[in-house]
Amino acid sequence: MASIKIRAKLDGDTTTVKALISHPMETGQRKNKKTGKKIPAHFIQEVTCEHKGNVVMTALWGPAISKNPYLSFKFKGAAKGDTLKLSWVDNKGKSDSTETQVR
């Protein structure tokens, strides 16, 4: 199952990108209610968006970002039909990426 849902819409010369990422985003501070032990930290560290091979957005995240984070940003220079690639990497080395076309 893909962890990223993404949309990109062109309005004038500005493209608005909206993404929802499925991820537990554990801080490492919460305790398991049954065992009393801390749940290990597991969070996304970096999110990048590429357009035509150029990085148009980089987000460096830490454990304070909520579960299943929503991300929205704007950039200029895209055209309808262009492909965008959104990728993330977490602190355990897991990653995912997906592509979408600008509408």
Q: What are the 10-residue block averages of pLDDT along the chain, 103 residues in total?
A: 92 98 96 95 98 97 96 97 98 97 98
What per-residue confidence (pLDDT) applies to 12?
97
Residue 101 to residue 8: CA distance in whole angstroms: 7
Domain layout of the chain by residue ranges: 4-28+38-101
Question: 51 has which bridge partners?
Answer: 54, 84
CA 65/CA 71 separation, integer angstroms: 11
Residues constituting the chain: 103
* CATH superfamily assigned to domain 4-28+38-101: Immunoglobulins (2.60.40.10)
**Per-residue pLDDT at 2:** 78
Centre a 10 Å sphere on the Cβ of residue 74 and count the other Cβ atoms it contains.
Answer: 11
Q: Cα angle vertex 72, ends 87, 51, to 5°?
A: 50
Tokens at 50, concatenated: 């590429």
